[in-house]
Amino acid sequence: MADESNAIHKIVIVGGGAAGLELATTLGYKLGKKKLAEITLIDATTTHIWKPLLHEVAAGTLDESEQVEYMAQAHRSHFRFRLGKMEGLNRTAKEIYVSPTFNEAGEELIPRRTFAYDTLVMSVGSVSNTFNIKGVAEHCLFLDTTSQAFKFQKQLFESYIKNYIGKDSATVKPLSIAIVGAGATGVELAAQLHEVTDVLAIYGLNETSNVKLTIIEAATRLLPALPDKLALATQQQLVKLGVDLKLGRRVIEVTSAGITTHDDEFIEANIKVWAAGIKAPDWMKNLDGLETNHVNQLVVDRTLKTSDDNIFAMGDCAACAWTGRTGNVPPRAQAAHQQATAVGKSIINRLKGGSPVEFVYYDYGSLVSLGKYTTVGNLMGNLMGTVSIGGFIAKIVYLSLYKMHQIAIHGYFRTAMLTLSNAFRRSVYIKIKMH
């Protein structure tokens, strides 16, 4: 609750991913606009892209209009945005510490800062879990952030040009790309890259795509979140596209030349991508005594509160028990969306002297998009149980998940206008960006 001196309640949200940005926008309109609270969103980057779209950023196929500028969103939605990366917490003083921001030349742009809070929300997302496998950190690319996705995009096109331009395509060795991990990110990236390399060939960079795509997975099947039938359908589609699937192969080492699996197979790869698991950032392990699990996630109760009543956690960095199921709520965009809604209600109740609301996760199913080729998934609901879907219907449902996120941060009218604008842009917009 706000204190008796009537000082405005300070709400600090760390992390501008799907959950963080949606929460900041909601509280901005409901509290910030009415001067009932001061909402501050802190993120290490200046723009937001819905994380399930990062594989499209990496492939160079995402329309730049899909990016959301935090500063502009903050101005429209009555919250404050501050650029920086959290580095520490003082629960007694109710302060967080944000590290300095430097430019590419190493010059300090913004000094180290301290932000006071009455309510703190941790929503920093996740990073790739390398499982301490030798060479992964040094030789693999990751798709945890927008900057990493752009780095991948740059390396992809530079490698393509270096491998093919000025050489005889009949004798040149195919560009090899290996993706470790056959979850949604790995599978969607493989399909997107297949489409992109075909487009590059059409654009005249090479007569044929001539790119070898390999997915390496420790489990014996793709897509553990989907039923066996849909995983098999996806596998068949990838095989049809020419993707080499190495299932049941555990990676033990990565070098600049390629990847070695537990059965001593060496898979040569010019570009290596790691998409084999996630964890919360390592700096969260020692966050002033807050309880964390083995993958650094903050342990929360059913209201998404940590062991400190003034601190909530949501999204991929929160370990929240799945009511009625074994294990925790999965790190999915739909979970982040639902958690942002629950935390928003709890904070509003908190300012009114009420109690936080319990979070109950509703699993509406899983969907995986293979770009222009197909979309597969399963939908869940109280009325229809579990229904497997594919093709056009699945693609529409997949897109609707993103539209829900856009509506949460832009509202219905702006989302409709953005959708209409993008529809017109497609007639003149290049299919890939080569920069």
3-state secondary structure the chain: CCCCCCCCEEEEEECCCHHHHHHHHHHHHHHHCCCCEEEEEEECCCEECCHHHHHHHHHCCCCHHHCEEHHHHHHHHCCEEEECCEEEEECCCCEEEECCEECCCCCEEECCEEEECCEEEECCCCEECCCCCECHHHHCECCCCHHHHHHHHHHHHHHHHHHHCCCCCCCCCCEEEEEECCCHHHHHHHHHHHHHHHHHHHCCCCCCCCEEEEEEECCCCCCCCCCHHHHHHHHHHHHHCCCEEEECCCEEEECCCEEEECCCCEEECCEEEECCCEECCHHHHHCCCCCECCCCCEECCCCCECCCCCEEECHHHEECECCCCCCECCCCHHHHHHHHHHHHHHHHHHHCCCCCCCCCCCCCEEEEECCCCCEEEEEEECCCEEEEEEHHHHHHHHHHHHHHHHHHHHHHHHHHHHHHHHHHHCCCCCCCCCC
Q: Is 354 found in the same domain as 258?
A: no
The domain boundary residue, chosen from 321, 336, 362: 362
The answer to whether residue 1 sits within a structural domain is no
Q: Is 32 found in the same domain as 81?
A: yes
Q: Is 211 found in the same domain as 244?
A: yes
Q: Is 80 found in the same domain as 20?
A: yes
Q: The pTM is what?
A: 0.86
Tally of structural domains, the chain:
3
CATH (domain of 155) = 3.50.50.60
Q: Is 85 found in the same domain as 20?
A: yes
Q: Is 14 found in the same domain as 93?
A: yes
Question: Which pLDDT score, from 0 to 100, does residue 413 have?
Answer: 83
Question: Which pLDDT score, from 0 to 100, does residue 163 have?
Answer: 77
Q: Is 395 found in the same domain as 298?
A: no
Q: Is 269 found in the same domain as 236?
A: yes
Q: Is 260 found in the same domain as 155?
A: yes
Q: Is 345 found in the same domain as 249?
A: no
The answer to whether residue 431 sits within a structural domain is no
The domain boundary residue, chosen from 214, 249, 274: 274
- pLDDT, mean of each 10-residue run, the chain (435 residues): 64 96 97 97 93 82 79 97 97 97 92 97 96 97 90 86 71 88 90 77 56 94 81 88 95 98 97 95 94 97 97 97 89 92 97 95 74 55 45 62 83 80 56 40
The answer to whether residue 355 sits within a structural domain is yes
The domain boundary residue, chosen from 223, 239, 274: 274
Question: Which pLDDT score, from 0 to 100, does residue 396 have?
Answer: 66
Q: Is 122 found in the same domain as 144?
A: no
Q: Is 400 found in the same domain as 311?
A: no
